[in-house]
Amino acid sequence: MQRFEFAGATAVVTGAASGIGAALAHALARRGSDLVLLDRDAERLDAVVTAIRAAHPDRRVRTYLVDLADATATAQVAAEIGRRHPRVRLLVNNAGVGLGGRFDQVTFDEFSWVIDVNFRAVAQLTHALLPTLRAERGAHLVNISSLFGLIAPAGQAAYSASKFAVRGLTEALRHELVDDGIGVTSVHPGGIRTRITENARIGSGVSHEEYAAGRAQFEKLLTIAPERAAEVILRGVERRRGRVLIGWSAKLPDLLARVLPASYNRLLVTGLNRGVVRPTPTPAPGVPAPRPAADAAVDPAREVA
């Protein structure tokens, strides 16, 4: 498969108002792509578009406000994109949400909200826009999974379930679409400096003390700039990589999961407590920090991508 050509392409990016999505929008504009940007935050999305148009006045930018938790609204936006942009060369399903808390600390409605945004919307948009990708020679699909699409720590049942589902869907599509000449990439970011702590919901059964402790430790992990993440992702797209891992906070746990698929959590906790795992995943917002090493077997590490 030939390298992806960004110049002259139409790229659809979800979650484009901040973080990796906004960085991808800027990076794609620099590479000569026209943009279709989706988000639910009108003010932040407008700021991104204003900056892109100021720097790249020749780029065409279209925006759609949508809450991807709403399946009906998602279907309507997808249909409109298909009508207005019948030849999409790149689709990046980037939008995602977080939820702190063990499975028994969250309601099923809270659990379902994460699944809806992180997985159902990805599948729905991809299914709706697949004809536009097939119509454009050399098209590519990118689904943003997570470190938690590689490992599944305690305290992140909903998030891990959604991101493993994204990974599974993406891998199947990679095999299904190869004969159509469509490249497919699964992305697994580590600690990226995004607004995830601001936007994450906290399970109804999680105490404020747990949340405060988990958030403070979680934010220490966010060391990678979104702009760097975007460049890594787009280099992977250009080279038609099937999978992209960003940062050692994704690569090291992935290696541990391959070597110790049933017991990596205990090793990560031991490394955390002894300070030998660098860089290390840390607890998710709303989830208690790991206990001392003596309790590692019953309280595995709470990491977040």
Would you please indicate which residues are annotated as catalytic (active-site) residues?
159
Residues facing 13 on adjacent strands: 37, 92
Q: How far apart are CA 14 and CA 185, in angstroms?
A: 15
Q: How far apart are CA 70 and CA 200, in angstroms?
A: 17
HSE-CB of 290 using CA atoms within 13 angstroms: 29
How many other CB atoms are found less than 10 A from the CB of residue 42?
11
**CB neighbour burial string for 68-101, b if at least 16 within 10 angstroms, e if fewer:** bbeeebbeebbeebbeebeebbbbbbbbbbbbbb
Q: Alpha carbon of 108 to those of 95, 105, 111, 157, 159: distances in Å? A: 21, 10, 5, 11, 13
For 97-118, give the DSSP string: --EES-GGGS-HHHHHHHHIII
Give the list of residues 6+ apart from residue 34 with CB closer than 8 angstroms, or none.
8, 9, 10, 11, 59, 60, 61
Q: How far apart are CA 25 and CA 168, in angstroms?
A: 26
